[in-house]
Amino acid sequence: MRLTKRVTLFAAAAAFTASTAVLAAPTFINVLTGGTSGVYYPIGVAMSQLYGSGIEGAKTSVQATKASVENLNLLQSGRGEIAFALGDSVEDAWKGVEDAGFKAPLTRIRAIAATYPNYIQIVASKESGIKTLEDLKGKRISVGAPKSGTELNARAIFKAAGLSYKDMGRVEFMPYAESVELIKNRQLDATLQSSGLGMAAIRDLASMVPITFVAIPEDVVAKIDSQAYQAKVIPAGTYDGQDQDVPTAAIVNLLVSHEKVSDEVAYQMTKLLFDNLPRLRTAHSAANDIKLEHATEGLPIPLHPGAERFYKEAGVLK
């Protein structure tokens, strides 16, 4: 009898210990960003800090990546909890567009929020003589890492303008910072970068070398075969020496998660994001364009149920 009672007590204690361990298990939140000289990274660091202090038991990390396409594939495989990605890349991921870097539809990804727009920023050294898209013919240009969101943007822009990589003198597939260094060293003539305004790499280049911003006219933007692109303007004075507005194209950035992230964690991540926008704006000025009232607009994939719960509470969704 005593032995049976002891066994029962030990079993109960073990069950209690196991249940306590489950309750106390940390919540891992890996924030997938982009290159460290872009905009995703500093905002991602700020988000990670918010989640680390605002979600009980959270252990956070920030991962620098090649951005949109890599981030979405990592989410699909459960190797991140929240990530930045361009809207057109998210659309391609959901459809499984192989040429865009997705071997099959990424059916596990879920939207958290539409955030700020990425502006296509084509910058050339003044000495290259490049002033228009047509002037890029025969020149040396970088277009981002292969099949990155930026490189997919480059393909779309050039196609709409009646250009292709074959028209260029040389095409390099390099991230922001490396591209800028090559222009400084006169090894490249221009770079196409897709990012929020005021990005560090272009600010650095503008402070070191006389540059020209190449306009993407509104009629070219209208020819792009995707609803994700909008005609926008880079306001005068955004960068040193840029004294005029520059017409260009823009694509909204999305924050994306996946279906295996719990509803509660997704809810907390969304709520902390919008409850702390001033803090994100101190991380980078691009966050000034993150607006709660636009957070659910134009999403090409389903909302995560946790995010949906927040938007209903906030009155954004009915």
Decide: 203 and 239 in contact? Cβ < 8 Å.
yes
Q: What is the pLDDT along the chain (318 residues), one digit of tens a residue?
A: 444 455 454 544 444 444 333 445 789 999 999 989 889 999 999 999 999 999 999 999 999 999 999 999 999 999 999 999 999 999 999 999 998 999 999 999 999 999 999 999 999 999 999 999 999 999 999 998 888 889 999 999 999 999 999 999 999 999 888 999 999 999 999 999 998 899 889 999 999 999 999 999 999 999 998 878 999 999 999 999 999 999 999 999 999 999 999 999 999 999 999 999 999 999 999 999 999 999 999 899 999 999 999 999 999 998
CA contacts within 13 A on the Cβ side of 223 = 14
One domain for residues 128 and 229: yes
How distant is the alpha carbon of residue 36 from its chain centre?
12
Gyration radius of the chain over CA positions: 23
Q: Which residue has the tokens 């009980």?
A: 56
- Please give the Cα distance from 207 to 209 (Å, whole number): 6
Which amino acid does the sequence have at 10?
F
One domain for residues 234 and 144: yes
- Please give the Cα distance from 214 to 307 (Å, whole number): 38
Q: What is the pLDDT of residue 24?
A: 52
Q: How far apart are the first and last CA of the chain?
A: 60
Domain count, the chain: 2
User: Which residue range forms the structural domain that includes residue 288?
Assistant: 27-117+254-313
One domain for residues 138 and 207: yes
- Please give the Cα distance from 203 to 143 (Å, whole number): 18
Q: pLDDT tens for residues 186-220? A: 999 999 999 889 988 999 999 999 999 999 999 99
Domain assignment present for residue 2? The answer is no
Phi, psi of 95 (to 5 degrees): -85, -20
Domain assignment present for residue 105? The answer is yes
One domain for residues 161 and 224: yes
Nearest to residue 248, comparing CAs of 219, 215, 223, 225? 215
Q: Please state, as a whole number, how many other Cβ atoms lie within 10 Å of the Cβ of residue 244.
A: 12
- Please give the Cα distance from 260 to 243 (Å, whole number): 48
SS3 assignment for 121-134? EEEEEHHHCCCCCH
Structure token digits, residue 221:
């933007």
The CATH number that applies at residue 170 is 3.40.190.10
One domain for residues 213 and 247: yes
Decide: 257 and 110 in contact? Cβ < 8 Å.
yes
One domain for residues 303 and 191: no
One domain for residues 88 and 123: no
Decide: 226 and 89 in contact? Cβ < 8 Å.
no
